[in-house]
Chains A and B, each alone.
Chain A
Amino acid sequence: MSKTNDRGGARIKQQIIPIVIVAVLFGLSFLTRTGSALRPSYYVVLFVSILNYIVLAVSWNIFSGPSGYISLSTAAFFGLGIYVSALLGEKLPVPLLMIVAGVISFAIAAIIGVITLRLRGVYFTIFTFGLVLLLQYFILWYEVKFNNLRGRTVMAVPYNTVFICLLILAGIVLIAAYYVKRSRFGMALTGIGECEDAAAHIGVNTTMVKVIAFAATSFAIGASGAAKATTMIYIDPPIAFNVMMSFMPVLMVIFGGAGSFLGPIIGAIVFTLLQEQLTTKWPKWYMIIFGVVMIISIVFLPKGLVGSFGEMVGKRKKLLLIAATAVFMVVGFIFTKLLAAAGTNIGGLVFPLLFGIIGFVIFANVLKRGKEAA
């Protein structure tokens, strides 16, 4: 009896999270009202970045998270999407550009997948990374040799349009991620990650599952590239196939917490904000600080923000951790104000974010140790 009730409850809960996702994204769509087509508000510009990274991180995590096949090909499909927009931007509206880019990425990923997904472990990772460089240098060679040009301009599209398109794409990717994790397909991916031989011998078509997951997530990555490209104005192969786009989603997932639904989302939001704030406020220190944050999080939060949060036993410790992080962020905010009063204007969210991360790291470790002692 209780078992049926549990299942009913689970079924209701299964519907709630997708509804929440849609509601939040719908709410965000009103941000377009804060600016006009020609003068978009800062929030819209910021959210274009955040949504873009959410799509990349969540897509990466759908395939590489459970299957353990660490792909560094994100930049390859993202770059393909950018080039689709550069070539067809004057002829097609953004949604169609995204679909074309998605289909091309899907097809190439499927072919690559059939050839390479028999490679295991680090060999697959290296190959996918090579793919980024291969496409980058091939397109550079082709453009210089046959078109006598190095880069291209991309037809600009109002930020509000790009924002809405990415909002819808992010919605699709998030809902897909949520359902895949709970589906038979998701279980097959997990089985492959935990023991591929065992999975194959109980009837999982491992090749098919891997290729479909790799190609479908590449669709979203390519589509995202096509949308983002319309805000870039000028692109060339090193910009379009920027290898950082391969590493950022991986780092975001690790930072946020691999294996959870919220981890990649939170990782993408925090990292994009941090990147945005550091590049505008402390451009010279950006990479150094970013690297330090990454090292600290890997050493002290190996399970990521969400994973470490989940390790807290009991509601009291969870609340304490959130409160501590909030207090640290407020201190960071006050610190920024004090600096501003003293004449050093390092405004924005740099200190609140960094202080918040430090607070979380300290308290997550202290509270965990408390558990071990008890």
Chain B
Amino acid sequence: MSIMEGTGVSISFGGLKAVSDVKFNVEEGEILGLIGPNGAGKSTFFNLLSGALTMDSGTVYFCGKKISGLKPNQICHLGLGRTFQAAKNFPGMVVYQNVMMGALFGKKGRSAAEAAKITDEVLDFVGLTELKDKNVTDIPLSAQKQLEVARALATRPKLLLLDEVMAGLNPTEVEDAMKLITRIRDSGITVIMIEHVMRAIMTICDRIIVLHHGAKIAEGTPDEISTSRTVIEIYLGES
């Protein structure tokens, strides 16, 4: 069953078609990879799904509800969480409070006690419990990436958009991030991830969509994508 479906998703900035006529669907419980060269429109695509940008044309349905045209907070309340490519956190708050914000505002009518419980669970789930009293500016990059994920998870999403959570991490940290994403999926949350770390994409994704110049040029399983002529020419290169 698909949790999200979109047709004709497009946006232009001036004369540049950043995302053009993308048709896609996301199956419930899968990890969907989104790859493509720099400037392909991957992050813009995320911004359209999460409501940060309004699409020029096209429609997106999420859990049977039309979300194109809604505002970010409304889309979040329907159960869509996201992280940002360049970590966006609340620098004046400690790690715990950052996650707490997600728990408090992620769903309407959540009590403070409930939110506190969710915060503890999520901190434990991503492995940030030890750092919970630290200032966000004092924790390493890998922890900041985890914090992005934790804040999004604290809203209790059904679908999570991860925008390059492995960028800048060392191989061990990438390994940990891969395990974390798999555990997120196993806990029942569908994941769409943008990533340049091919090893991670090819290992954990069930399906992959390739964007180039804003258009979808390929879609399939990791095996199909890694052997596709067009994808190799445009993005992966000859080995």
- A contact residues vs B (CB 8 Å cutoff): 184, 187-188, 190-191, 194-195, 197-207
A204 touches B73 (CB 8 A): yes
A residues in contact with B81, CB < 8 Å: 201-202
Kindly state the separation between the CA atoms of A346 and B76 in the bound complex, as whole angstroms. 63
A195 touches B73 (CB 8 A): no
A194 touches B92 (CB 8 A): yes
- In the complex formed, the residue of B with least CB distance to A202 is B102
A194 touching B72 in the complex, CB below 8 Å, given contacts A202-B105, A203-B105:
no
Kindly state the separation between the CA atoms of A117 and B133 in the bound complex, as whole angstroms. 33
Kindly state the separation between the CA atoms of A201 and B102 in the bound complex, as whole angstroms. 9
A187 touching B101 in the complex, CB below 8 Å, given contacts A197-B52, A202-B152, A202-B155:
yes
Kindly state the separation between the CA atoms of A204 and B110 in the bound complex, as whole angstroms. 13
B residues in contact with A198, CB < 8 Å: 84, 88-90, 101, 151
8 more CB-based (< 8 A) A-B contacts, given A195-B90, A198-B89? A199-B105, A200-B71, A200-B72, A200-B76, A201-B73, A202-B106, A202-B154, A203-B73
B72 touches A195 (CB 8 A): no
Kindly state the separation between the CA atoms of A184 and B103 in the bound complex, as whole angstroms. 11
B50 touches A201 (CB 8 A): yes
Q: With an 8 A cutoff between CB atoms, is B189 at the interface?
A: no
Minimum CB–CB distance from B33 to chain A (whole Å) comes to 21
A191 touches B90 (CB 8 A): yes
The one of B105, B107, B152 that contacts A204, using a Cβ cutoff of 8 Å: B105
- In the complex formed, the residue of B with least CB distance to A195 is B88
A residues in contact with B50, CB < 8 Å: 201
Kindly state the separation between the CA atoms of A199 and B155 in the bound complex, as whole angstroms. 11
Q: With an 8 A cutoff between CB atoms, is B82 at the interface?
A: yes
A190 touching B84 in the complex, CB below 8 Å, given contacts A200-B72, A202-B102:
no
The one of B52, B92, B104, B154 that contacts A184, using a Cβ cutoff of 8 Å: B104
Kindly state the separation between the CA atoms of A195 and B90 in the bound complex, as whole angstroms. 6
Q: With an 8 A cutoff between CB atoms, is B93 at the interface?
A: yes
Which residues between 147 and 161 of chain B lie within 8 Å of chain A, taking CB atoms?
Answer: 151-152, 154-155
B residues in contact with A195, CB < 8 Å: 88-91
- In the complex formed, the residue of A with least CB distance to B105 is A203
Kindly state the separation between the CA atoms of A23 and B106 in the bound complex, as whole angstroms. 39
B residues in contact with A207, CB < 8 Å: 71
B residues in contact with A194, CB < 8 Å: 89-93
Kindly state the separation between the CA atoms of A369 and B228 in the bound complex, as whole angstroms. 65
Kindly state the separation between the CA atoms of A296 and B155 in the bound complex, as whole angstroms. 45
Q: With an 8 A cutoff between CB atoms, is B77 at the interface?
A: yes
- In the complex formed, the residue of B with least CB distance to A184 is B104
B52 touches A202 (CB 8 A): no
Kindly state the separation between the CA atoms of A46 and B106 in the bound complex, as whole angstroms. 48
A203 touches B155 (CB 8 A): yes
Contact flags B75-100 to A (C-beta < 8 A → 1, else 0): 01100011010001111110000000
- In the complex formed, the residue of B with least CB distance to A207 is B71
B101 touches A199 (CB 8 A): yes
Kindly state the separation between the CA atoms of A62 and B101 in the bound complex, as whole angstroms. 19
B residues in contact with A187, CB < 8 Å: 101, 104
A190 touching B77 in the complex, CB below 8 Å, given contacts A201-B52, A202-B155, A203-B106:
no
Kindly state the separation between the CA atoms of A282 and B104 in the bound complex, as whole angstroms. 53
A200 touches B84 (CB 8 A): no
A197 touches B104 (CB 8 A): no
B residues in contact with A197, CB < 8 Å: 52, 84, 88
Kindly state the separation between the CA atoms of A188 and B102 in the bound complex, as whole angstroms. 11
Max chain A Cβ within 10 angstroms of own Cβ: one of B76, B91, B152: B76
Of all A-B residue pairs in the complex, the 8 with the closest CB atoms, nearest first, are A194-B90, A203-B105, A200-B72, A203-B76, A198-B88, A202-B102, A205-B73, A203-B106
The one of B82, B90, B152, B155 that contacts A190, using a Cβ cutoff of 8 Å: B90
Kindly state the separation between the CA atoms of A188 and B88 in the bound complex, as whole angstroms. 15
Kindly state the separation between the CA atoms of A200 and B52 in the bound complex, as whole angstroms. 9
- In the complex formed, the residue of A with least CB distance to B80 is A201
Max chain B Cβ within 10 angstroms of own Cβ: one of A190, A191, A207: A191
A190 touching B154 in the complex, CB below 8 Å, given contacts A202-B102, A203-B77, A204-B105:
no
Minimum CB–CB distance from A172 to chain B (whole Å) comes to 25
B101 touches A202 (CB 8 A): yes
Kindly state the separation between the CA atoms of A194 and B94 in the bound complex, as whole angstroms. 12
- In the complex formed, the residue of A with least CB distance to B75 is A201
A191 touches B101 (CB 8 A): yes
A residues in contact with B71, CB < 8 Å: 200, 205, 207
Minimum CB–CB distance from A66 to chain B (whole Å) comes to 9
Minimum CB–CB distance from B95 to chain A (whole Å) comes to 14
Kindly state the separation between the CA atoms of A250 and B108 in the bound complex, as whole angstroms. 34
**19 contacts across the A-B interface (CB closer than 8 A):** A190-B92, A194-B89, A194-B93, A195-B89, A197-B52, A197-B84, A198-B84, A198-B90, A199-B105, A201-B52, A202-B101, A202-B102, A202-B105, A202-B151, A203-B76, A203-B102, A203-B106, A203-B108, A204-B105
Kindly state the separation between the CA atoms of A248 and B81 in the bound complex, as whole angstroms. 42
Minimum CB–CB distance from A180 to chain B (whole Å) comes to 15
The one of A188, A190, A191, A201 that contacts B72, using a Cβ cutoff of 8 Å: A201
A201 touching B76 in the complex, CB below 8 Å, given contacts A190-B90, A194-B90, A194-B91:
yes
A residues in contact with B105, CB < 8 Å: 184, 188, 191, 199, 202-204
- In the complex formed, the residue of A with least CB distance to B90 is A194
Minimum CB–CB distance from B107 to chain A (whole Å) comes to 7
Minimum CB–CB distance from B187 to chain A (whole Å) comes to 19
